[in-house]
Each structure stands twice: as C-alpha cells, then as structure tokens.
Structure 1
Amino acid sequence: MSTVTTSPPLSPSLTAAYRYCEIVTGQQARNFAYGIRLLPAAERRAMSALYAFSRRVDDIGDGPLDDATKESRLKETRDLLQQVRAGEIADDATDPVALALADAADRFPIPLDGLDELIDGVLMDVHGRTYETWEELRDYCRCVAGAVGRLSLGVFGTVPGAPGAERAPQFADTLGLALQLTNILRDLREDAAEGRSYLPEEDLRAYGCTEGFNRSQPQRGADFDGLVRFQVHRARRLFADGYRLLPMLDRRSGACVAAMAGIYHRLLDHVAAEPAAVLRGRVSLPAPQKALVAVRGLAGLDARRAVRKRP
C-alpha cells in the first residue's frame, strides 16, 4: 500500500531543510545517494532526512570527543528524537535535520524507534565493545543497519496484496545486516587504526587472526583469506535472504533498494576476489560501475542473480 499521506506543500523553511539533508547525503553517502535518486521526490526527501539524522549520530560516535562528551551528545540527540516523535518541532525550528525529519515522519509511517536503536548501537562503539560470537555481532548490526532497513521500509511501504508482506520488516532488517557486514570487511584496517574490532572473536581465533588488522599484510601464520571468505559467504546468505523484500516493493522503491544493495554486493565480490586488498585501503567501486548497478537495479537483474545463488 502507498505510505505517503496527503500533506500541504513544502514551506520555504522545509524546502531549505530538505535541501540541506540532500546535500549531506550527496557528500557523505555516495552509495546511498545513488540508490535514492531513483525514488519519487517525497520519498527521496524523506530518505535524505533519515540519512542526515543517522549521519549526525554516527559523527558523534566517530568524532574526536571524549567518551563522556559523546554520551552526553548522544543523549541530547535522543532527546531531540523524542521531540520529533512528540510533534514538538516548530515550523520555524533552526535545526534543518530535525525540521526535515519531523515533516518526513508526518508524511510517512516511519518507525522512529529504529533511530533509538541506532543510538544504542553507536553507544556500543563508544564503550569499545567487542563481539565474541556472530550472534553478538548480529545484535550490533541490527541496531546500526537493520534498524535503518526498517526505517526505510516505513518510507517505501509494500505493494497491496504482496504475498508474505508481513515479513517485509524482517527482510529489510536482514538486508541491513548484509550491508553492515560488508562495511565491516571493507573497513577492517580503518577500524583497527581507531582501535575498533568488529569481527567475532571466535572467528578471529579459528583463522589465527588475533593480532588485529592495522598493517598492510596479514599476520604470520594467519589464514586471513579464509577468514574474509567465511564472512563473505555469511554476507551473501544475508543478501540472498534480504532480497526477498524486493517483490514486495513498488518498482521505484525496489529499484532503489536493489541499487544500494547491488553496490555493496558488487563490493563484496571485489573483497572475495582479493581479500588482502582491504588491508591496503578502503575498497570501493568506480562511479561508472555504480551507475551500471543502478541501471541493473531498475531492471532487477542483480537481485535475481543473488537470489539464484542463494546457498
């Protein structure tokens, strides 16, 4: 069913607020921006507002502030979210992200609790948590990425009468996990330089990779390629399961999700082909390849390929 409600046209202040969020999205999230450009204007604006708020939360967690200050800033951000939830953001508010998010939440049934989960996940980062098992890491991924999938579904909605639509939030969550695990693999060295470790400790021990990744070559005696390909296999299974969301979406929303997920799925292929590349720097796709993935997303080609390969 369509999720957008009848709302008045945008005021100049809202137009400016959304424009600010779109600029943040375009500058800070190239992969995300490639996907949402396929959406109608109202949905694209709402997704930019969600991203801009999420970016603010992430920037607090990743910034140079001490832990106590980060916790205080995250509490302030949670309080602001509560004001959005309660409809307390005035039309003349000076915070463009809050203003845009409040309007998006009025126009779409966005489950704003997902943003609370995102803040919970960033607090895990602030506290320097490590993860012994995949089950523990999965809980973190659900906070920082699965929740974003469910938030996005609030904007997209599902096609009326789509079989199994009651499971759409589960599939959106799973697709978010797939994207986050891909991010973790891509950013191994960068995270290690910040003193962060995300891969399950039990997997690091199993493959002899317990000395971290803040170097250009794997540690001696480690099966680094085996570790990475094990995680790639896990991520591919998540992608294949999450792609079951696509038939439940309208064509443009499905194309948006397929494009965003397709970029990360291709990135995963690059990581699998040369695992050690992630120790030398961030692996990324050139702009022409991203554009090709977006086109294939419109046709649903990459999604069908991933589902056919489902383990």
Structure 2
Amino acid sequence: MESTVTIALARRLLARLRAADPVLGRVALGRADFARAFAGAPFRGPSDAALVRARVAAAGSSFARGMSALRGDRRRALWAVYAFCRAVDDIADGAMPEAEKRRFLQDWRGKLARPDCALSRELARARDRYALPVEECEAMIAGMETDAAPALRIADGAALDLYCRRVAGSVGAMAVRIFGAPEAADFGLALGRTLQLVNILRDMDEDAARDRVYVPRDLLAAHGVAEGPPAAMLAAPGLAAAARVLAAQAEQGFARAEAELAAFDNPALLPARIMMWAYRRIFDRLVARGFGPPRARPRLTAGEKARMAAYALRLAPVAAR
C-alpha cells in the first residue's frame, strides 16, 4: 500500500509537471492529491491496461476514434500498439539532445525483449495474443531514429518509401492482425503508406519548424526547389508542384485500398474503413486548398468526428468477432 501511494503521487506530480512550467514556479501536490492517493491505496493502483487506456484517451487522436470500432481484447491490443507508437514518436519530437533521444529509443528496443513498465507489458501481451511480429515494433523505432536527427531531408523516392514503411506500414501490418485479418498484411502496409503521405502533405509547415522536409530532394530539385532553410524551401514556387506528385500517389493509394477492401470482403477490416474515411476527408481538403502558401491545416469538423464515433459504434459488434 505504501508503494501504491508513492507511485500514485509520483504519477500525479508528473502530470502536473507536464502541464505546468517548473522554471516559472514550483510545481507541487496539494492535500487533495494526497487524499486521493491514500483513498486508492487498498486497490493497489490502476492496472497496466487502465494506464495505457488513459494515455490513449489523453492523446485525443482521431486514430482513437477508429479504435473504438473494436471491443474487448482487440481494442486493448490496439490501444497498446497506438500508445507504443505515440511514446516513441514523443521521444523523436521532443526537445532533448539527439544523443538523449537515441538513448531512449534504444531503451525501447530493450523493452521489447524485457518488458519493464505498463506500456511495454501491454505491448508484449498484444504481440503474444495476435502474433504481432517484433520486427514491426523495431521498424517503428527505426523510423523514429530517423526523426530524432536535428535536421531531416529525404533523399529520394526510395528513402521516402523506406521511411513510410517503418513509421506507418508497421502500424498497418500490426493493426490488420489485431482486427483478425492477418491475410491482409500487404493491404495494411500499403494503406499505411497512403495515410503517411497525407500526414506529410498536411504537416509540411509544422515539420519545417522542426527542420524536417519529407518531400524528397530529387522531387524538389526536379521542380526547381533548391536545398536551403525549410521555410525558404516551402515558400519556393515549385514546392506546390512537387507536393502534387505525392498527392497523386496518395490518390492512387486510396483507390487501391478501396479495391482491395472490396476484394477481401472481410468484416474484420471495417475499422480500417473508418480511418480511411477520415483521412480521405482531410486529403480532399488538402487538394482543394492547394499546396502553396498560406497552408491552413485542414481538420475534421465536429460533425465528422461525431459521424466517426457513430460509425464505430455501429461496427463494433461486427469488429469484436
């Protein structure tokens, strides 16, 4: 019980530190925090599954709405995969020095072999139950090691394919297995690449602020965009034409995914359709907006989010089978 109280207070303090700035003022716990920790002590704290569930809920991602189409153990497994991806992505996007990022990512390689925390234990459980290849988790970490660099440029189409395979294809390959359609692994890989292209087109300005440019160098050069500071590259007249090439690839990817879904005729893949629907909405707005400045970030409307949730609830009994 003493350990339960200590850990509960530590988690609460960590949450406060994430939300506040300890440089501006002391961040401390209050009487209510201690009372809550002592009241929960007999119950030995939240389970691993509850801690991962809370992490997913705090992320507020549209991906979480797609996960709500699942029920029971399948949802729990997909939560673990999502939370793992979010954890390593947060490391790569953090403000730590590159060496520290790489050390933390290497620590995660160790956690895959020897789970030592709530998230790594939940991920190990999902891997065991749904035969998720550990290589896919390692691929995600490798992709985040690419993002950990202080500045990032993608050399060519082959390098972009490899990056997409690691950071998005890995998720697709694991997700279809959790859905109950392991035969659709190639579909998951291809869909992951398509959705990652949408992410790249949507986040160009945000990535540029981190000195990252994911539009390949050879494609940019072909449209007259010279290497330089990211802001200058994104302001170049040829950037929009280069982005439209990636948009055309994404369009082809959506068409292929729709055809393959029809060919599989597998109800287990219906959760993937929810994500495709949401990403297609964002993609259509990107194309309609264009890729020259200014680039307002397209978002799903409240009505579309509600529609996703309703669609997920309607599919949940099917997807839980």
Q: Same fold (TM over 0.5)?
A: yes
Is 1:219 the counterpart of 2:235 in the alignment?
Answer: yes
Structure 1 residue 194, shift from structure 2 partner: 0.6
Cα RMSD (Å) of the superposition? Answer: 2.8
Deviates most, 99-108 or 65-74: 99-108
Shift of 1:209: 3.5
Q: Are the counterparts in 2 of residues 259 and 298 from structure 1 also a CA contact under 8 Å?
A: no
Shift of residue 151, structure 1, vs aligned partner:
1.0
Indicate whether 1:18 and 2:35 are aligned.
no
2:270 equivalent among 251, 255, 258: 255
Deviations 1:206-244 (A, max 9, x none): 2333356537x9635x14433332221111112222344
User: In the TM superposition, what is the alpha-carbon distance from 1:296 to its structure 2 partner?
Assistant: 6.2
CA distance in 1, matches of 2:216, 2:299: 24
- Measured in 1, the distance between the counterparts of 2:293 and 2:89 equals 22
Residue identity matched to 1:133? D
Q: Quick check: 1:269 aligned with 2:284?
A: yes
Give the SS at the match of 1:47.
helix
For residues 114-125 of structure 1, the aligned pairs below 5 Å read 114-125=136-147
Q: Determine which of 195, 217, 222 is the counterpart of 1:206.
A: 222
Larger of the two Rg values belongs to structure: 2
CA–CA distance in structure 1, aligned partners of residues 91 and 199 of structure 2:
19
Consecutive unaligned residues in structure 1, runs of 5 or more: 1-11, 84-88, 160-164, 301-311
- Asked if 2 retains the 8 angstrom alpha-carbon contact of 1:21 and 1:48, the reply is yes
1:152 aligned onto 2:152? no
SS in 1 for 2:212: coil
Among 23, 27, 42, which residue is 2:73 paired with? 42
Instruction: Report Cα offsets for 1:232-263 as digits up to 9, x if no partner.
Output: 11111122223445353742x32211111221
> Which amino acid in the other structure matches residue 182 of structure 1?
V
Q: C-alpha distance in 2, partners of 1:279/1:132? A: 26
CA distance in 2, matches of 1:182, 1:263: 11
CA distance in 2, matches of 1:297, 1:207: 42
Residue deviations 1:157-191 (CA, integer Å, cap 9, x gap): 229xxxxx4xx211110100011111011110011
Distance 2:193 2:275 in 1: 13
The structure 2 residue matched to 1:28, chosen from 37, 59, 84, is 59
1:238 aligns with 2:257: no
The aligned residue for residue 191 of structure 1 is: 207
Mapped partners of 1:13, 1:260: distance in 2: 37
> Structure 1: how far apart are the matches of 2:234 and 2:91?
31
Aligned to 1:180: 196
Q: Which amino acid aligns with 2:261?
A: L
Q: TM-score, normalised by structure 2?
A: 0.75
Higher mean C-alpha deviation, range 37-46 or range 242-251? 242-251
In 1: Cα distance, 2:279 partner to 2:178 partner: 21
Structure 2 residues not aligned, in runs of 5+: 1-42, 316-321
- Matching of residue 135 in structure 1 with residue 150 in structure 2: no
How has the CA–CA distance of structure 1 residues 234 and 29 changed in structure 2, closer, same or farther, with 3 Å as cutoff?
A: farther
Question: Quick check: 2:168–2:192 contact (8 Å CA) kept in 1?
Answer: yes
Once residues 106 and 178 of structure 1 are traced to their aligned partners in structure 2, the CA distance between those partners, rounded to angstroms, is 28
Aligned to 2:134: 112
Contact 2:66–2:308, Cα closer than 8 Å, also in 1: no
1:60 and 1:70 in contact (8 A); partners too: yes
Q: Aligned pairs, how many? A: 270
